[in-house]
Amino acid sequence: MNTIRTDFDQQYIVDATFVIIDFETVTPAKKPPEPIELAAMRVIPGLQIDQQFCANWLIRPPDDAPLTAFDTRQTGIRWQDLCDKPSAAVILQNFEKLLRNEPAILVAHNASYEANIIKRFAEACPNLATLPFVDTIALTKRVIPDLSSYRLDALSQYFSLPIPHNRHRALPDVQLTMQIFLRLIHLFVDKKTTSTVAELRYLAGIPHKKQLPSQMNLFEENT
């Protein structure tokens, strides 16, 4: 069984690679969510957007997880858009190949949702399933506590970011999440210039595998 990779935990955040992902899903009654779309973008060392990396796939759900009228109203995705597309297992295999087993931290908004999907399909993407996740909701609560809402649209308004007209499609949601993530990271790093990936995972990762020393005050300002 694969274990969570920790070989890059001691990297400084500014030296790390992050891959922001989003699934759109259908949620059949009494069954787990089934992905119908996956998108990903990458932030490379220096906290720069990798302009060469942008992935977006449509996914055919199983026959027992049909696309509903609500799903189409929410996403604009129609059954005819999905009926000839590969399964989730095939798409996740392709995604894993695209990442080329390079160390990276996955990032998502409400990341446990994406993490649970990948975990379900771990047999198809075993290396992808070992990558740690950072949740932008958890990170926002650490960096900007006491907001009235941590939904993606609310954070977009907080940071004065335009909400794309095609929200609830995977790629626009990834683009929006990435902009929010970069703003949060800059705020986080400003509070402690030597912040490491391990510290970030402790504060906003899922799950928290290892606790940092209790005496470490990650937000202590330099005096």
Report residue 215's pLDDT band, with 50, 70 and 90 as the boundaries. very low
User: Is the bond into 207 cis (omega within 30 degrees of 0)?
Assistant: yes
Q: What is the pLDDT of residue 219?
A: 36
**Has residue 221 got a pLDDT over 50?**
no
| CA distance linking residue 92 with residue 89, whole number of Å | 5
Q: What is the pLDDT of residue 191?
A: 59
**38 or 11: whose pLDDT is higher?**
38
Q: What is the pLDDT of residue 193?
A: 52
Q: What is the pLDDT of residue 138?
A: 95
Q: Give the CA angle between residues 179, 181, 186 to the nearest 5°.
A: 100
Mean pLDDT of 116-124: 97
Report residue 216's pLDDT band, with 50, 70 and 90 as the boundaries. very low
Q: Which CATH number fits domain 13-206: 3.40.50.300, 3.40.190.10, 3.40.1160.10, 3.30.420.10?
A: 3.30.420.10
**Has residue 208 got a pLDDT over 50?**
no
**Distance set, CA 199 to CA 8, 27, 55, 81, 187 (Å):** 12, 34, 28, 42, 14
**Has residue 213 got a pLDDT over 90?**
no
**58 or 3: whose pLDDT is higher?**
58
Reported pTM: 0.88
